[in-house]
Structure 1
């Protein structure tokens, strides 16, 4: 395992299902500490650490979804010899999906399931909430989404540290254009908050059009970061789905 790209926040139980988690825009691997703890003993959670944040803050963040997904596919490919699944939240859902496309194109084994959280299905045109111009617009968008990370925006020193990653991530989302292709032969589960200000439930449900496999939609009370309030329920869903799919590390 490449320790530059992946973080474990607990022991890796032998023969436990493996779940690779992709953070949201501006987020870091530590966003999945609560989920990792909730799944302790039931899953081997690998959280992706993107360049440009926390202990990788001196590295340049990716400025395109395609470039980022290319790099992620290279890093994850050695992990695909054993069954695995992906969980991505918000921008992480796009990266999980695009990384899967690249893995399949290269002949690598597919993930047993994609869990796509807090993100609508992709389309050829960037979503209106992704097309932001300038730091003020990015900061306003992050405030609108809420989440525990909002306190960082009120600290000038911390804000200076996170702005480069936020700027790059939102720039990547704003320039992302889905290239039409056949639905993936990978089961998918979409998760969304019922009051998410940027992801209507119908857009989350539209992920069904991108798979030829089983599809499930789970709607939770809450906004964009509904995960923060439903860790136990989501961990139970993931554990049951991983066990049913037979994904084992």
Structure 2
């Protein structure tokens, strides 16, 4: 059993700032390091935070969570106290699904709505994916992840790292594979969907239906790259996020 001192926070600050808080939700197997590398000169006065799920990086000793309802419940408890400042949510791949459900749960439990929701490389939630991966035998699971292109190749090809990360990757894909979408009123904040031009798994046709989940504006941006354009086009992604948030920041200073 982990002691209190063994546990790590669900939300970590990657880059301090005095303005709006941007909370990043990483892809399967990912942690706060994904967002720590975002260029600070592009973020201006945005405070950049990252979700830190159990089973990775500094929380490697903790058991990963494969139930989306439980993960969202824990996350909104961590996010609610920092919402005294305007908050935007950004999630990539499975992180996009988590960000979306956290936005809905923040509204339901605390009457809080983020100023903007970014969903990146993530199909709209009503598009049910029946291709379950998380409970496949190890070899088939790894092969399907390579084909799915949902995990960085340097992780997949590192045998020792994969042995450590396999339970976490299974849990993360379980968040997606066991997800059941429930209808609810659209969010009152704008939604922006990001995609990779060469992402064969999540193309524009799977991103466009996100517009159904906002009563405000919707935008779709496509970047050079495959599913991991968030890394290969990192500077452009960060610059675009800042550009989209700029009008709100200017009116709230």
For the criterion TM > 0.5, the same-fold answer is yes
Aligned length: 245
Give 5+ residue unaligned stretches, structure 2.
Answer: 1-6
Superposition deviation, residue 130 in structure 1:
4.6
Question: In the alignment, is the contact (CA less than 8 A) between 2:89 and 2:117 conserved in 1?
Answer: yes
Aligned partner of 2:29 in structure 1 is 26
Question: In the alignment, is the contact (CA less than 8 A) between 2:145 and 2:151 conserved in 1?
Answer: no
What are the equivalent positions in structure 2 for 1:12-161 lying under 5 Å apart? 12-14=16-18, 16-35=19-38, 37=40, 39-123=42-126, 125=128, 127-132=129-134, 133-146=136-149, 149-161=152-164
Between the two structures, name the one with larger relative contact order (CA 8 Å, sep ≥ 6). 1
- Larger mean CA deviation between 137-146 and 99-108 belongs to 137-146
Question: In the alignment, is the contact (CA less than 8 A) between 2:194 and 2:223 conserved in 1?
Answer: yes
RMSD over aligned CA atoms reads 2.3
Superposition deviation, residue 183 in structure 1:
1.3
Tell me the TM-score normalised to structure 1 length. 0.90
Question: In the alignment, is the contact (CA less than 8 A) between 1:22 and 1:47 conserved in 2?
Answer: yes
Question: In the alignment, is the contact (CA less than 8 A) between 1:124 and 1:177 conserved in 2?
Answer: no
Asked whether 1:6 is paired with 2:6, we answer no
C-alpha distance after superposition, 1:126-168 (max 9, x if no partner) = x144545233333223323558832222232211111110011
Question: In the alignment, is the contact (CA less than 8 A) between 1:187 and 1:213 conserved in 2?
Answer: yes
Aligned partner of 1:226 in structure 2 is 229
Tell me the TM-score normalised to structure 2 length. 0.88
